[in-house]
């Protein structure tokens, strides 16, 4: 999700734009997840890696870099990032897996 704070949310709500902002954010995230999933599922060996970490079926989502104000050090997150990076490398995509 985009980096916004309480003041931004308050302003969006006051302008009547909060619902639209949330809808657009969800749509963008869903499209990004679907793209990641398509990239990874093209490669059977990467799907095998997903299975090994208990993530198959996988919806393409990568947990956030920060969770409750702390850096997310989940090994599953790190493995998902590595799997997506490998899929992107193989297909020539230069997009970043997740920030």
pTM, entire model: 0.75
Question: What confidence tens digit (pLDDT) does each residue in 15-68 have?
Answer: 888 888 889 989 999 999 999 999 999 999 999 999 999 998 999 999 999 877
CA 32 to centroid of chain Cα atoms: 7
Side-chain half-sphere CA neighbours of 29 within 13 A: 14
**Cis peptide leading into residue 57 (ω within 30°):** yes
Q: Alpha helix (H) ranges present in the chain?
A: 6-15, 18-41, 44-52, 75-91
């Amino acid at each position: 999700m985009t980096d916004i704070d309480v003041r931004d949310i308050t302003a969006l709500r006051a302008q009547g734009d909060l619902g639209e902002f949330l809808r657009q954010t969800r749509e963008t995230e869903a499209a990004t997840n679907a793209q990641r999933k398509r990239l990874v599922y093209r490669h059977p060996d990467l799907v095998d890696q997903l299975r090994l970490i208990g993530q198959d079926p996988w919806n393409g989502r990568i947990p956030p870099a920060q969770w409750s104000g702390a850096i997310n050090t989940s090994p599953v997150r790190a493995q998902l990032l590595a799997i997506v990076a490998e899929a992107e490398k193989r297909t020539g995509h230069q997009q970043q897996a997740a920030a």
